Structure 1
Amino acid sequence: MDRGAGHALGMSLVTLVGEPWADYGLVDCGHGRKLERYGPYRFIRPEPQAMWAPADPDWQAHGEFVPGADEDGGGRWRFDKPVPRDGWKLGWEDVAFTAQCTPFRHLGFFPDMAPVWAWMRTQFTGKPDPAMMNLFGYTGVGSLAMAATGAQVTHVDASKKSVEAAKGNAKLAGLADKPVRWIVDDAAKFVAREGRRGRRYDGILLDPPKYGRGPEGEVWKLEEGLPGLIADCRKLLDADSRYLFLTVYAVRMSALAIGELVSQAFADLPGTVECGELATREEARGLLLPTAIFARWRRT
């Protein structure tokens, strides 16, 4: 669901709200934590932005991620009830994938991206043989959401383990025969090479981390690398392309800042630039929990 919230600096400010679905829901949140359901299992994870009181102070969960002393990482899972350590099957619309408790406090995919996947699916209406790129594609749920519609997908991630997990999700979803290129590479280097090769795409999704390393030890720092990456992505899109969607997590950065960055890069193309927040609707009271900021260019 899109909810317009006014205008600033010539851009629309928008909140993309993730609603509960059969296999996922934000059950309750508050006092710096959140309670979520992932299929038949419930988990508690840290959530600094949940500054209010929860609807119900007595949470029952299968496991909880207990953070370490370092706010930038660390911690461990504590389980009170049995949970399949090798993961379990979940689904979103017509895409199946594996959820699993990872050492990085999440469960192998990012459920607040569901409204982004749904929005991207609407952008290729009437477009024959669309081609899209998913940069920092992780375990591939976004790639498979597009491949299931018939789009040709280039999935890029620096982690071989993540790309193998994405291939496994493709098999689980019955989408292994879809036209997906699975690329293990440094995202910035790959995009730059695609530009030199004269490649073009109809849509690009990018979800860069705050910090990361490429397969050859390349260092990625968001604030330093993002402007150049957006400029190189722009070279792969033209007036017949449909969108670029950028999400940013876990940084002290404004949606307006990344909105202006995208607006400047796409000033020569027709279309609209919007920026704002991703949020998930809590089931207990319907309040919105912010999770990330985003900026997007769309042709229409």
Structure 2
Amino acid sequence: MAQLIRQPQLLCGQGWADYGLVDSGNGRKLERYGDFLFIRPEPQALWQPREADWDAPHLAPHGEFVPGADEDGGGRWNYTRPVPRDGWPLSWPNGGANGGESVRFTAQCTPFRHLGFFPDMAPVWGWMGEQLQGMQAAQTLNLFGYTGVGSLALSRFGSVTHVDASKKSVAQARENAALSGMSDRPIRWIIDDAAKFTAREVRRGKRYDGIIMDPPKFGRGPDGEVWRLEEHLPGLIHDARRLLDGQSRFLFLTVYAVRMSSLAIAGLLEEAFADLPGVIEHGDLAVQDDVGGRLLPTAIFARWRQGEA
């Protein structure tokens, strides 16, 4: 039986050459994406910014996302300096010092306040690489895979199945693979509802060495399927568990923008993995700012892995 570690953990990311959290406070955050600076809303930044003036020449943003009145992620970008509307290339090291290769991708200001990737996932991608260390023919599954940075990071260990309901996101993921010189990697790019695809994989008798999932609070599949996290996550977790066995390495779940404890989703994993060995851990994802080292929490996570506590 997998052992639940009750004490929460912190999985913290730091900036790198192409990304950094410059400052945060008063419900906003200032970030560096390559040569461009942006301000976005951040409800968890309850403190005062370290820098008094974000309009100072060395901090002046190229744009700011102003949220709408609804709770569905609406809003608009206000630009004060030119920004490439078709995006600009960035990279993530992907364990380059340990035999990996950089993953390249296009950053772009999207209508949903994101910029084409989630930088707080960088330590998650690194952790998955540690679990797969030494494997060259791993089978991994990336559910809600978005623009594919995680899938490209996983592809150095074997074949990847990338699933997302958005045709636009999957097309961008393919473009990121080409930008990274990884178009020939064994990645299946699938446009589908994640829950339906996972259930079909169970019926097919498939297995995976690792699964990562980053479900939204609310979403729709390509055929109008409705996803509500609190309602549909338990079924998805239990199906995903059936795609893993005693030789599998991990399952990693991240959850954003919900009023929920990491202990709650860890309990869901504890139930699903009652018949497998290993460890279940949970806690917060956070990003450390470039200067003062202050931590900005971004999401909660729960994960199962092989090994001892």
- Counterpart of 1:91 in structure 2 is 91
* Distance across 1 between alignment mates of 2:304 and 2:225: 28
For the pair 1:57 / 2:18, whether they are aligned, the reply is: no
- Counterpart of 2:15 in structure 1 is 20
| Alignment TM-score, normalising by the size of structure 1 | 0.95
* Distance across 2 between alignment mates of 1:182 and 1:91: 21
Superposition pairs for residues 233-252 of structure 1, below 5 Å? Answer: 233-252=240-259
- Counterpart of 1:263 in structure 2 is 270
* Distance across 2 between alignment mates of 1:146 and 1:51: 35
Question: In structure 2, the residue corresponding to 1:289 is in which secondary structure?
Answer: strand
- Contact 1:150–1:178 (8 Å) recurs in 2: no
* Distance across 1 between alignment mates of 2:179 and 2:21: 25
Instruction: Give CA-to-partner distance per residue, 1:234-260, whole Å, 9 cap, x none.
Output: 000000000000000011111000011
* Distance across 1 between alignment mates of 2:239 and 2:218: 19
- Counterpart of 2:133 in structure 1 is 125
- Contact 1:201–1:237 (8 Å) recurs in 2: yes
More displaced 10-residue stretch of structure 1: 61-70 or 193-202: 61-70
- Counterpart of 1:187 in structure 2 is 194
Superposition pairs for residues 1-300 of structure 1, below 5 Å? Answer: 10-59=5-54, 60-93=60-93, 94-147=102-155, 149-300=156-307
- Contact 2:5–2:281 (8 Å) recurs in 1: no
* Distance across 1 between alignment mates of 2:136 and 2:168: 32
Question: Is there any run of 5+ residues in structure 1 with no aligned partner, and where?
Answer: 1-7
* Distance across 2 between alignment mates of 1:56 and 1:70: 30
- Contact 1:159–1:184 (8 Å) recurs in 2: yes
Question: In structure 1, the residue corresponding to 2:157 is in which secondary structure?
Answer: coil
* Distance across 2 between alignment mates of 1:240 and 1:201: 9
Runs of 4+ in 1 over 4 A off after TM superposition: none
Question: In structure 2, the residue corresponding to 1:161 is in which secondary structure?
Answer: helix
* Distance across 2 between alignment mates of 1:10 and 1:51: 29
More displaced 10-residue stretch of structure 1: 10-19 or 116-125: 10-19
Deviation at 1:74, TM superposition (A): 1.3
Matched residues, percent identical? 68
Q: Once superposed, what is the RMSD of the aligned Cα atoms?
A: 1.1
- Contact 2:262–2:302 (8 Å) recurs in 1: yes
Deviation at 1:91, TM superposition (A): 0.2
Aligned residues: 292
| Alignment TM-score, normalising by the size of structure 2 | 0.93
Question: In structure 2, the residue corresponding to 1:11 is in which secondary structure?
Answer: coil
Instruction: Give CA-to-partner distance per residue, 1:20-63, whole Å, 9 cap, x none.
Output: 10000000000110000000000000001001000112111000
* Distance across 2 between alignment mates of 1:156 and 1:215: 11
Greater RCO (CA < 8 Å, at least 6 residues apart): 2
Question: In structure 1, the residue corresponding to 2:184 is in which secondary structure?
Answer: coil
